[in-house]
Structure 1
Amino acid sequence: MQADTAHGVQRRPAARPRPLSAYRRDELARLEDLAHRMDTMFRIPMTEIRVGLDTILGLIPGIGDTATAIPAGYIVYRGYKLGAPKSLLVRMGVNAGIDWLIGSIPLVGDLFDLGFKANRRNVRLLRRHFERTAAPA
């Protein structure tokens, strides 16, 4: 453990990512591609703001956010099939639920979708989990 000299606090060194199995690596790459399409596929011209199909479909009143809940649910499902622990799946479900619930509020939800990228968050959580728990090569 390393000591933080400013506060006298002991810290663990950052864990290095471990190699993933080929199956998990490929599946995470597919999920990252889906999350990119849903959350950050397009850049708004003359800005650094990125939006995806989630934001665009969310503009359709009534059905847009419900339709985008399907890919979000698929990401959580694939996390389950990959063997993610229940606590992680609950956290991912909460992210997807927040995205759906707040996203379904007219105007407020559309603005919220610009910053809260639930699909990318969830895939990042999966990747981080599996890199930490992968068997050493």
Structure 2
Amino acid sequence: MGIEMPVGNDPASIRQRIQMMEALLERAFTVPGIKRGVGLDAVIGLIPVVGDVITAAMGAYIIWEARNLGIPKWKLWRMAGNIAFDSAIGAIPVAGDLFDFVYRSNSRNLKIIKKHLDKHHPAAQVIDG
């Protein structure tokens, strides 16, 4: 049916799952006219309270996968802070919804994970295209 989700516990498979989740949350759709990627984080976040809880849980999945990679606890806390900040500001009506289009906590977390993987698991590197 298109894209296959890797199921392994090796760093390369975990990296692919995290990248897929980040793409879904941050740039799954393109807004016509402005050609800006928008993901489920911004779209589901439009639903008051429940939307922010759902997207925070999906962001927590990325942190859980990062923990499976052995990322240091201080980096996990930093990633959790990104999600908490995004959820807290995103819960504000209207202004929070606009904020979700700009602040991409999952992209920030992916950057932390990629930096860790590139240093500690160089075999898991892929050429981004």
The alignment's TM-score, normalised by the length of structure 1, stands at 0.79
Structure 2 Cα separation of the partners of residues 24 and 49 of structure 1: 30
Q: Between Structure 1 and Structure 2, which shows a larger proportion of helix residues?
A: 2
1:96 is displaced (CA, Å) by 0.6
Provide the aligned length of Structure 1 versus Structure 2.
115
Q: Distance in 2 between matches of 1:25 and 1:95?
A: 24
- How far, CA to CA, are the matches of 2:46 and 2:52 in structure 1? 8
Specify the alignment match of 1:123 in structure 2: 110
Among all aligned residue pairs of Structure 1 and Structure 2, give the percentage whose two residues are the same amino acid. 34
CA RMSD of aligned residues (A): 1.5
Provide closer, same or farther for how the CA distance between residues 135 and 55 of structure 1 changes in structure 2, counting only shifts above 3 A. closer
Deviation at 1:135, TM superposition (A): 6.3
CA contact (8 A) 1:49 1:114 kept: no
Query: What's the TM-score, normalizing by structure 2?
Result: 0.83
Runs of 4+ in 1 over 2 A off after TM superposition: 133-136
- Could you say which residue in structure 2 is the equivalent of 1:83? 70
Higher gyration radius (CA): 1
Aligned to 1:11: none
What's the counterpart of residue 43 of structure 1?
30
Unaligned runs of 5+ in 1: 1-21
| Distance in 1 separating the partners of 2:83 and 2:13 | 22
Q: Taking CA–CA contacts closer than 8 Å with sequence separation of 6 or more, which of the two structures ends up with the larger relative contact order? A: 1
Gaps in structure 2 of 5+ consecutive residues: 1-8, 124-129
